[in-house]
Copies of this chain bind each other. A is one copy, B any other.
Amino acid sequence: MTRELHVAVVGATGAVGQQMIKTLQERNFPVGKLTLLSSARSAGKKVLFNGEEVVVQEATPDSFEGVDIALFSAGGSISKALAPEAVKRGAIVVDNTSAYRMDENVPLVVPEVNEDALHAHNGIIANPNCSTIQMVAALQPLRETYGLSKVLVSTYQAVSGAGAAAINELKEQAKAILEEKEFTPEILPVGGDKKHYQIAFNAIPQIDKFQDNGFTFEEMKMINETKKIMSMPELPVAATCVRLPVVTGHSESVYIEIEKDGVTVADVKNLLADAPGIVLQDDPENQVYPMPADCVGKRDVFVGRIRKDLDRDNGFHMWIVSDNLLKGAAWNSVQIAESLIKLSLVK
A: residues with CB less than 8 A from B are 152, 154, 156, 170-171, 174-175, 178, 189, 193-195, 197-198, 201-206, 210, 213-215, 223, 236-238, 240, 242, 244-247, 251, 253, 255, 265, 284-287, 289-293, 304-312, 315, 317, 319
8 Å CB contact of A152 from B152, B170, B203, B242: B152
Q: Which residue of B lies closest to A245 (CB)?
A: B245
| Closest Cβ–Cβ distance, residue A134 to chain B (whole Å) | 14
State the CA gap A306–B312 with chains docked (Å). 25
Is the beta-carbon distance between A319 and B201 smaller than 8 angstroms? Answer: no
State the CA gap A206–B178 with chains docked (Å). 25
Evaluate whether A306 and B202 lie within 8 angstroms (CB atoms) in the complex, with A238-B255, A238-B317 already known: no
Q: How many copies does the complex hold?
A: 2
| Closest Cβ–Cβ distance, residue A221 to chain B (whole Å) | 13
In the complex, what residues of B have CB within 8 A of residue A304's CB?
205
Evaluate whether A284 and B210 lie within 8 angstroms (CB atoms) in the complex, with A201-B247, A205-B319, A253-B154 already known: yes
Is the beta-carbon distance between B210 and A285 smaller than 8 angstroms? Answer: yes
Evaluate whether A213 and B307 lie within 8 angstroms (CB atoms) in the complex, with A156-B203, A178-B171 already known: yes
Q: Which residue of B lies closest to A290 (CB)?
A: B205
In the complex, what residues of B have CB within 8 A of residue A307's CB?
213-215
8 Å CB contact of A238 from B189, B197, B311: B311
8 Å CB contact of A246 from B201, B286, B311: B201
Given A198-B291, A203-B291, A240-B317, 18 new contacts (CB under 8 A): A152-B255, A154-B240, A156-B156, A171-B178, A189-B287, A194-B286, A201-B245, A202-B291, A203-B292, A204-B291, A205-B319, A206-B287, A213-B308, A214-B305, A214-B306, A214-B307, A238-B310, A242-B251
In the complex, what residues of B have CB within 8 A of residue A238's CB?
255, 309-311, 315, 317
Q: List 19 A-B contacts (CB under 8 A).
A: A154-B253, A156-B244, A170-B201, A202-B246, A203-B244, A203-B251, A205-B305, A213-B307, A213-B308, A214-B306, A214-B307, A215-B307, A215-B310, A223-B310, A237-B310, A238-B310, A238-B311, A240-B253, A240-B319
Is the beta-carbon distance between A291 and B197 smaller than 8 angstroms? Answer: yes
Q: Considering residues A201, A215, A223, A246, which has the most beta carbons from chain B within 10 angstroms of its beta carbon?
A: A201
